[in-house]
């Protein structure tokens, strides 16, 4: 089973870049555009731009840290709920599972959009299986994603609707971006929570990235959606357009036997 294929960008991406790029993603057949909510950027403001520029493209945040941006402060106006997924995470909260559980409940009361939970460990994945519409798995190899999805299916048994598994993977489409990809991997490897998870899984951060079509196809049959977090040398619109064209071609290729 082929997973849906989406593109991920930082929430700091300029509105004019989003306005130009989003219609092309829609034409190329990508499922959604995920905007990663980071300091200095507003993923929801970016999604409003994307919504105005497209008709069918899915809209998603991946993910909003609700210790920094509480649910009550989120401006959801102008974002069509029927094609939106609001992804939330605990950020640096002292009681992360409780904070996210409360956040999901608040969002259910505020919007009809789908709700995704960013989950690094098993306790948060269990919460997502019980309460959310999707779980966002970050920095996982296909093998680690297989184990996480098995846990998700076990923990969500009995629910009427399938809980979607989304893997968010840093991706390059040409060699010029290799140094930028390594820098991103090293940055996440320096964070204590991620470093502990990499050590538990026995992998290096760079092992959980994508740089060719076969690495993309390796997640098919494991997760429901693959989000290619676009890493380019300079983050220009031209580079992002080439990234989209190349990775769309990867999807059209048959996986190696």
Q: What is the pLDDT of residues 87-118, one digit of tens each?
A: 999 998 999 999 999 999 999 999 999 999 99
Host domain of residue 34? 4-252
Whole-prediction pTM value? 0.96
N-terminal to C-terminal alpha carbon distance within the chain: 15
Please check whether residue 40 lies inside any domain of the structure. Answer: yes
For residue 257, name the pLDDT band (cuts at 50, 70, 90).
low
pLDDT 10s digits, 15-42: 999 999 999 999 999 999 999 998 899 9
Please check whether residue 108 lies inside any domain of the structure. Answer: yes
- Rounded mean pLDDT of the chain? 96
Please check whether residue 257 lies inside any domain of the structure. Answer: no
* Cβ atoms within 10 Å of 256's Cβ, excluding its own: 7
Please check whether residue 105 lies inside any domain of the structure. Answer: yes
60 φ/ψ angles, rounded to the nearest 5 degrees: -150, 150
Please check whether residue 35 lies inside any domain of the structure. Answer: yes
Q: Count up the domains in the chain and report the number.
A: 1
The whole-angstrom separation of Cα 140 and Cα 147 is 10
Backbone conformation region of residue 139, classed left if phi is above 0, alpha if psi is from -120 to 50, else beta: left
Please check whether residue 180 lies inside any domain of the structure. Answer: yes
Q: Beta strand pairing status for 114-118 and 134-138?
A: parallel
8 A C-beta contact, residue 177 and residue 211: no
Which tokens is 186 given? 């090293």
Question: 161: domain CATH number?
Answer: 3.20.20.30
- The percent of residues above 70 in pLDDT, for the chain, comes to 99
């Amino acid at each position: 089973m082929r997973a849906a294929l989406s593109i991920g960008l930082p929430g700091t991406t300029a509105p004019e870049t989003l306005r130009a790029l989003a219609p092309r993603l829609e034409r190329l057949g990508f499922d959604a555009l995920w905007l990663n909510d980071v300091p200095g950027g507003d993923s929801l403001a970016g999604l409003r731009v994307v919504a105005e520029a497209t008709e069918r493209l899915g809209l998603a945040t991946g993910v909003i840290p609700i210790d920094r941006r509480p649910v009550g402060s989120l401006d959801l106006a102008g974002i069509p709920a029927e094609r939106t997924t609001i992804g939330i995470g605990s950020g640096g909260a002292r009681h992360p599972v409780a904070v996210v559980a409360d956040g999901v409940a608040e969002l259910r009361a505020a919007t009809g959009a789908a709700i995704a939970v960013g989950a690094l460990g098993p306790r948060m994945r269990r919460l997502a299986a019980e309460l959310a519409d999707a779980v966002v798995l970050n920095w996982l190899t296909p093998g680690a994603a297989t184990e996480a999805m098995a846990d998700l299916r076990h923990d969500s048994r009995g629910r009427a609707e399938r809980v979607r598994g989304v893997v968010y993977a840093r991706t390059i489409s040409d060699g010029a971006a290799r140094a930028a990809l390594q820098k991103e991997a090293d940055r996440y490897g320096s964070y204590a929570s991620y470093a502990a998870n990499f050590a538990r899984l026995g992998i290096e951060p760079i092992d959980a990235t994508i740089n060719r079509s076969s690495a993309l196809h390796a997640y098919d049959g494991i997760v429901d959606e693959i989000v290619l977090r676009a890493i380019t040398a300079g983050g220009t619109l031209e580079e992002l357009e080439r990234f989209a064209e190349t990775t769309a071609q990867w999807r059209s290729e048959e996986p190696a036997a």
